[in-house]
Amino acid sequence: MMSAIARFALGIVLTFVAASTAFTQTDPLPSWNDGPTKQAIVSFVEKVTDKEGKDYVPPEDRIATFDNDGNLWAEKPVYFQLLFAIDRVKALAPEHPEWNDKQPFKAVLEGDMKTLAASGEKGVAELVMATHAGMSTDEFQQIVSDWLATAEHPRFKRKYTSLVYQPMLELLDYLRDNSFTTYIVSGGGIEFVRNFSEPVYGIPPAQVVGSSIKTKYEVIDGKPTLTRLPEMNFINDKEGKPVGINQHIGQRPIFASGNSDGDYQMLDWTTAGEGPRFGLLLHHTDAEREYAYDRDSSVGRLDKALDDAPGKGWVVVDMKNDWKVVFPPQE
């Protein structure tokens, strides 16, 4: 049993702990300007975590899903994974003399982005298969790590993993501090994103949903190996996002965040559920600090989702006006 002195002393300790917690929690989103967007996010989180309120959601149902390209990190001039594939083609070219006369490899080696763009989805798929398959899963992770450690963005001259959005990092932390489980749901490759999701976003590999190629289990020289095959397994984009979420998470999110029409179905699936729901749509409006693009962009096109956001109740983030900073300070 606790003595009266012990109870008194414990009271002091707990009061001190409570006071310092309240102090540090004054602004969970310091890089977001005060205004309706930030207010909407905070109100939602307070609502679903209020045990006495009618909108309370138990922690195990607090699932939040985030698109990656253009939503957690930048996606211009083109998806960073495509820049990885381009660098990889250049690195592998000496072993593939036939690429000098074969599109889209020829275009990549000559730096002819116009011809590469004209090769369309089929051309990109060929690049992906030539650069992402044919090795073990372990070897692929090493290749991606090496690239991310050295490659630099053409405009910002920074590593790609530093071109993440500081306000979104704070939002991920804020949600997790309120017992949300945060997932990435990306059109990009699941193994590519997993390479940096934990150190950069605090999201472990199992909480990454993405596109994938097939892998094959085989025992090579007595060693169990997973080999990456040049064959699509799943495209986690548009209608694929709710399918991927269901397959991987098995629960409908209550919070979804995206920035393009590729995220439309994820937001619609999320916010059509019963009870409190939140859809967040990032609008790139800041040509000076980052980029300004929407309806006419081939990368990250935002058109129908922007039209339908008001009717669906999705909150649109105006990057230029809602964010105090875009990227974290340069290391």
Contact positions toward a second copy, by CB under 8 A? 2-3, 5-10, 12-13, 16, 60, 137, 181, 190-191, 194, 198, 204-208, 212, 215-219, 223-224, 226, 233, 239-240, 242-243, 246-251, 265, 268-269, 272
We find the least distance from the C-beta atom of residue 237 to a second copy, in angstroms, to be: 11
- Shortest distance in whole angstroms from residue 250 CB to a second copy: 3
Q: Which is nearer to a second copy, 15 or 33 (CB)?
A: 15
Query: Contact 38/32 with Cβ under 8 angstroms?
Result: yes
Residue placing its CB nearer to a second copy in the complex, 267 or 315: 267
- Name the nearest CA neighbour of 321 among 296, 289, 299, 298: 289
Select 272 or 325, whichever has its Cβ closest to a second copy: 272
CB of 60 to a second copy, least distance (A): 6
Given the complex with a second copy, which of 46 and 307 has the nearer CB atom?
A: 307
- The residue behind tokens 């011809």 is 115
CB of 186 to a second copy, least distance (A): 13
CB of 206 to a second copy, least distance (A): 5
Closest to a second copy by CB, 154 vs 311, is 311
> How many Å apart are CA 50 and CA 57, to the nearest integer?
8
Tokens of 199: 């150190």
Min dist CB 328 to a second copy, Å, is 23
Residue 35 or 205: which CB sits closer to a second copy? 205
**Residue (232 or 272) nearer to a second copy, CB:** 272
Q: Specify the residue, 174 or 183, whose C-beta has the smaller distance to a second copy.
A: 183
CA distance linking residue 257 with residue 49, whole number of Å: 19
The dihedral built from the CA positions of residue 125, 130, 136 and 140, taken in this order, carries a sign that is: negative
Smallest separation, CB 16 to a second copy (Å): 8
Q: Give yes or no for a contact between 271 and 314, defined as CB atoms under 8 angstroms apart.
A: yes
CB of 234 to a second copy, least distance (A): 9
